[in-house]
Structure 1
Amino acid sequence: MLLSFVRNYASNVRTSERELRELQETLERFDPKYIPESDFGIIDPYFKPLQMPSVFSKKYYRILYENSKNSFKNFIFGANIAYFERKSSEYKDNPSEYWSPSLFKSKAVNLYIEMNENFASKNLKALEKLVEARMYNKMKFDLKQREGKFIWKYHGLVEKPKYINVRCALGHARSAGNYIAQITLKLHTKQSVGLYNKAGKLISGDPKKVKNVLEYVVFQRKMWEKNKGWTIYGYMSDVHNHLLT
């Protein structure tokens, strides 16, 4: 009798675990708002105001202080990222690949271009390696809704990329090798887009017209994922200070 109960209990536990896994897979596949367990959110959403108030107001000096504090944090956390990459990343034998403020910008732009090109061509396999899980789930959901052809082209920079935030924090394991790094860049680029329906009719945008697009892109790296490198976490709004995902 006891043995029968134990077998039934074990069977129910396995069934429950399987059902939970299936539910999680369903959420990841169909719910663009699903947040994976490994999602840390934005470490620090501070945004420098685009317009400063009057120099005679108290708010001006408060913002000046916050901007100075943010610049100091960018410097300190940038040094931390460089240190942990040298200490625990796959770049130990290739110093030219270490993170640096000047080199990262061009790598980030290339990553941004690669992401958009693969999104346009519906290359989910490539996107999974380029973006973080929540953004990938949203992109996968959006691609399921897309029926026609989407064209995206990059035409250069309007202005050089600019650092907004540089941050890092400990991951779940709370140990030195488990740092997560996030960098928010202001990307002002020239792009052209066009969406066609199944019949080949242009229904949105115009691939022949180049437009200036301003975006604040959050790049992320989990130091414990040795072979993954930098990915795109999402976008940050200067108006609402939250992710647009």
Structure 2
Amino acid sequence: MSGLLTNTLSIIGKSIQSRPGYVLAASQVDLVRNISKHWNPKFKKERKAKVIKVDLPDSRNEDEITEDERRSMMKKRGLYPPRPWMETGFVLACTGAIFEAYVPPEGDGKFSPVTATGMKQNVLAIGKKTTSMMAIRKIKSYVDDFNAKDFADEARDIYIKAHKALAEKDFENLRDYVTEKVYSEMKHNISNKQIRWTFIESLEPARIVRARNTSISSKDNPYGQLTVRFHTKQTLAIYDRFGRLMHGSEFVAKDVLEYIVFERHLSNEYGKWRIHGKIIPSWQAPKEPTAVTGVKPAVIEEVQKTSQDSKLETPAIAASDAKSQETPATI
């Protein structure tokens, strides 16, 4: 037995002496095969990122989960508890309506101030100026550089810029001249339409006919509204989506009498006057409705008939095509 062991060891020793490269290669392969870690330690974070811990969902029903467990689960995920009521969003930059709207005198703009009717209108207007003067005094307490006479020119510039932006569909600049309440209304009214509007001149200087202020949610959050009377000459033409004239004309100028309400968030240091609405008097004659484009009934009937005829002809054409495919062509 000892002789066999010595013979084996001698054979192994001779093979190592004669071929040392094979034995070294085999030992290296075995060493690399048994190593369980990456040889370069700088990729430790990358190897760690391969493993992702996943939170498995709870297989239980909602009735089986207690309130404490649900609360702890929501805290773990960073969720707020659900509320039983639905909150509606509101905008603090403007109010939602015109408070104490101005009622224009009947026939305004038609009577001269020299006539008896015109003098009566002026006397009634003077009697209602007390509340407006108090409101203007309140506005001056928040806006130091406010002047009622200078504001008429400022309101005229805002009026022109807002209508130019509306005609050009420049909605980004339109936000600077109208409030959020009027912005949605203006944008909706010009959908699928093209507007050509020009301001020619002012027939009468713009003037403030009413001033009001109110507070929302607290006394430290006031809003001011000024109603300005505009008597101007303008041109307006409205085209539909096909380029056909719906209303007005680009060449015929008309006299326009309007009562525009301007609003400002007084407690906001960076607030500015913007168009908030338009007052339409009840005694004003209704305007002509715009012509809405559409498809004539006769054209609809013709389209329906042609569609029915095409449905009847298609089976016969398909049958003839099938027969032509079945019979080979002969020369």
- Report deviation, 1:8: 6.2
Please list every run of at least 4 consecutive aligned residues from structure 1 whose deviation after the TM superposition is greater than 6 angstroms: 63-66
1:70 aligns to 2:128 (yes or no): yes
**Could you report, residue by residue, the CA deviation over 1:87-109 in whole angstroms, capped at 9, with x for unpaired residues?**
xxxxxxxxxxx111110000001
CA distance in 2, matches of 1:206, 1:66: 37
Q: Indicate which of 142, 152, 174 corresponds to 2:219.
A: 174
Per the alignment, residue 13 of structure 1 pairs with 82
CA distance in 1, matches of 2:227, 2:247: 29
Question: In structure 2, what residue type is equivalent to 1:160?
Answer: P
Question: In structure 2, what residue type is equivalent to 1:164?
Answer: V
CA distance in 2, matches of 1:211, 1:240: 19
Q: Indicate which of 180, 185, 199 corresponds to 1:154.
A: 199
Q: Which moved more, 1:184-193 or 1:70-79?
A: 70-79
CA distance in 2, matches of 1:216, 1:163: 9
CA distance in 2, matches of 1:13, 1:152: 51
Percent of pairs with identical residues: 20
**Could you report, residue by residue, the CA deviation over 1:23-48 in whole angstroms, capped at 9, with x for unpaired residues?**
x6xxxxxxxxxx86752522322425
Q: Indicate which of 183, 186, 192 corresponds to 1:139.
A: 186
Secondary structure of the structure 1 residue equivalent to 2:277 = strand
1:45 aligns to 2:101 (yes or no): yes
Per the alignment, residue 236 of structure 1 pairs with 279
Per the alignment, residue 252 of structure 2 pairs with 209
Q: Indicate which of 61, 67, 82 corresponds to 1:2.
A: 67
Question: In structure 1, what residue type is equivalent to 2:224?
Answer: A
CA distance in 2, matches of 1:161, 1:233: 17
Q: Which has the higher contact order (CA 8 A, sep 6+)?
A: 1
Task: Work out whether residues 139 and 266 of structure 2, in 8 Å CA contact, stay in contact via their aligned partners in 1.
Answer: no
- Report deviation, 1:75: 1.8
Task: Work out whether residues 111 and 130 of structure 1, in 8 Å CA contact, stay in contact via their aligned partners in 2.
Answer: yes
CA distance in 2, matches of 1:162, 1:201: 37
Per the alignment, residue 148 of structure 2 pairs with 101
**Could you report, residue by residue, the CA deviation over 1:51-99 in whole angstroms, capped at 9, with x for unpaired residues?**
69xxxxxxxxxx999644421122222122122212xxxxxxxxxxx11
Q: How many residues align?
A: 202
Q: Indicate which of 208, 227, 238 corresponds to 1:195.
A: 238
Computed over aligned residues only, the root mean square deviation of the Cα atoms, in angstroms, reads 3.2
CA distance in 1, matches of 2:193, 2:214: 41
1:83 aligns to 2:141 (yes or no): yes
Note closer, same or farther for the CA distance 1:204–1:163 as it changes in structure 2 (3 Å cut): same
- Report deviation, 1:122: 1.0
- Report deviation, 1:215: 0.8
Q: Which moved more, 1:130-139 or 1:110-119?
A: 130-139
Question: In structure 2, what residue type is equivalent to 1:42?
Answer: I
1:110 aligns to 2:157 (yes or no): yes
Question: In structure 1, what residue type is equivalent to 2:228?
Answer: L
Note closer, same or farther for the CA distance 1:237–1:182 as it changes in structure 2 (3 Å cut): same
**Could you report, residue by residue, the CA deviation over 1:151-170 in whole angstroms, capped at 9, with x for unpaired residues?**
11111111111322111222
TM-score by length of 1: 0.70
